Amino acid sequence: MLQKKILIIYPEPRSTRVAIYRNTEPLFLKAIKHPADELAQFKSIPEQMPYRRDTILTELKRNDFNIELVEIIMARSGLVKPLKSGVYRINEKMVADLKVGIMGVHETNLGGLIAYDIARSIGKQAYMADPVVVDELSDLARITGHPLFVRKSIFHALSHKHFARKYAKSINRNYEDLNLIVCHIGLGGISVGAHSRGLVIDVNQAFDGGGPFSVTRSGTLPVGQLINYCFSGKATEAEVLKMVNSQSGYAAYLGTDSISQIDKMIAEGNEKALFISEACAYQVSKEIASHFATLEGNVDAIILTGNIFNSELFLDNVKKRVGKLAPIALYPSVNDLEAHAVNAIRVLKGEVEVKEYE
């Protein structure tokens, strides 16, 4: 049995989660908060790398963990070039692309930068599993309606693949033999994908593209109204992108992006909060149902993942609309840290062929 330590680095906009695993057993979990005034000193997200790296190393040292005992480092995936599903070694080319934001700039890009830096300092390797840019779209799914625009694949690939494989294992089947619709609702965005025998052949672009609105993202907006707003002089390009990515959804309608505050409003019977929650469930259901057509009606299961599905109200609002299409498998959590640990173990055991980023 392997007893090697796995370090997982998981940056978020206002914090960095760090974990030490032994196999799939968590030995240390910590969400390091980054005060707004400290982040404000950096002109760009990549410039935060040394600051976040040092906070991680300081926290590990403060908890008497020797970084030299780490055998492998896993990083939260960033916006690199479109890739096939798999585990990738973080190399200098990937680091360069993460720094310039070849597919976009986001705090997730820091995961690979920090992991690579720490790994080099202790003579180990750093890896990234199923990046958010995993691209297995069918040619049909790429068509938008105008040749100037092409649909991109940016979604919660790690969670999708992790729970899809977990479900397949639970019924003694291979993921590659199943047709699944996977809906993942994270703290930021929502992605709903059609998995056809191991490939995500269609999925909404969950970063700044379309699909259901989430806690902070707009999802699909009326194109004409969006164009008018962009040319109204009321906002710059950067401000519009920020609005779409982090100032929409529940946050725009209810004035808060705090999950606990939103839950409190709903629990207290706030009618507006209840209505917005039902609208979100409605949009999620429509997105799920659309992939019944994508998979030509051949769907083995609908997999629902994310903490929001602990809400019976939200879950019931989805189930009543799509429950008749296929069996529903429920995983009401976001378990990215475990997913990283599982992929690290696959690397250490030689069960997966590590891919090189080119």
How do residues 259-295 score in pLDDT, each as one tens digit? 899 999 999 999 999 999 999 999 999 999 999 999 9
Say whether pLDDT at 335 is over 90. Answer: no
Give the Cα separation of 241 and 255 in Å (integer).
Answer: 18
Give the Cα separation of 264 and 123 in Å (integer).
Answer: 47
Give the Cα separation of 213 and 286 in Å (integer).
Answer: 12
Reference 16, options 51, 62, 61; nearest CA is: 51
Structure tokens at 44: 């760009």
Residues 187-202 have a mean pLDDT of 95
Say whether pLDDT at 188 is over 90. Answer: no
Quick one: how far is CA 106 from the chain centroid? 12
Which ranges of the chain would DSSP assign to H, the alpha helix?
A: 36-39, 49-62, 92-100, 109-122, 139-142, 157-170, 223-230, 237-246, 249-254, 259-267, 271-294, 312-322, 336-348
pLDDT at 301: 98
Say whether pLDDT at 313 is over 70. Answer: yes
Residue ranges of domains in the chain, CATH in brackets: 5-133+336-356 (3.30.420.40), 143-326 (3.30.420.40)
Helix (H, G, I), strand (E, B) or coil at 331: strand
Say whether pLDDT at 4 is over 90. Answer: no
How do residues 54-107 score in pLDDT, each as one tens digit? 999 999 999 999 999 999 999 998 899 999 999 999 999 999 999 998 888 889
Dihedrals φ, ψ of 20, to 5°? -115, 125
Residues 27-43 have a mean pLDDT of 95
Say whether pLDDT at 2 is over 60. Answer: no
Q: Which residues pair with 9 in a beta bridge?
A: 18, 75
pLDDT at 209: 80
Average pLDDT, the chain: 95
Say whether pLDDT at 215 is over 50. Answer: yes
Reference 77, options 144, 142, 134; nearest CA is: 134
Quick one: how far is CA 130 from the chain centroid? 10
How do residues 287-298 score in pLDDT, each as one tens digit? 999 999 999 999
Say whether pLDDT at 251 is over 80. Answer: yes
Reference 132, options 109, 150, 151; nearest CA is: 109
Dihedrals φ, ψ of 165, to 5°? -65, -40
